[in-house]
Amino acid sequence: MNKKELANFKKILIQKKAEFLNKTNSNQRELDADLEVSIGDEIDTATHNSEKEMFFELVANDRITLNAINDALVKIEKGSYGLCECCNGAILLERLEAIPWTRYCIKCQEEAENTKR
């Protein structure tokens, strides 16, 4: 991978990181505002708790993605970006363009997913 491609991926990763951080901060402010509102009956309380639980799952997924983005940025600095963490083979450029923070080549990803089933 040449320097221009790496610079382009770095720019995309930094942009995605900012988007995830803004989204998470915005969602957190909304949740904080919702918690200040008094809740009505038991059904309202249950609905509110369910919504809170779904929010925290989304936040957890965003944090996982943010960690992957940060890891990809570190790999760019170390010169190992674009290499599969499992087999050390090159990850296809098309795959990196679709998911710039991906860690595995398609073959290793499929093997890992099939093992989990």
Summarize pLDDT for 37-86 with one digit per residue, the tens.
555 666 666 666 666 666 666 677 778 888 899 999 999 999 999 999 99
* Chain segment 82-111, per-residue pLDDT in tens: 999 999 999 999 999 999 999 999 999 999
**Cβ–Cβ contacts within 10 Å for residue 76, how many?**
17
Element (H, E) at 59: helix 42-78
Closest of 9, 51, 8 to residue 59, by C-alpha: 51
What is the number of residues in the chain? 117
Contact between residue 75 and residue 81 where contact means Cβ atoms under 8 Å apart: yes
Q: What is the mean pLDDT of residues 13-25?
A: 85
pTM for the complete prediction? 0.69
**Cβ–Cβ contacts within 10 Å for residue 29, how many?**
10
Bridge partners for 83 per DSSP: 90
Identity of residue 56: F
Six token digits for residue 106:
């398609």
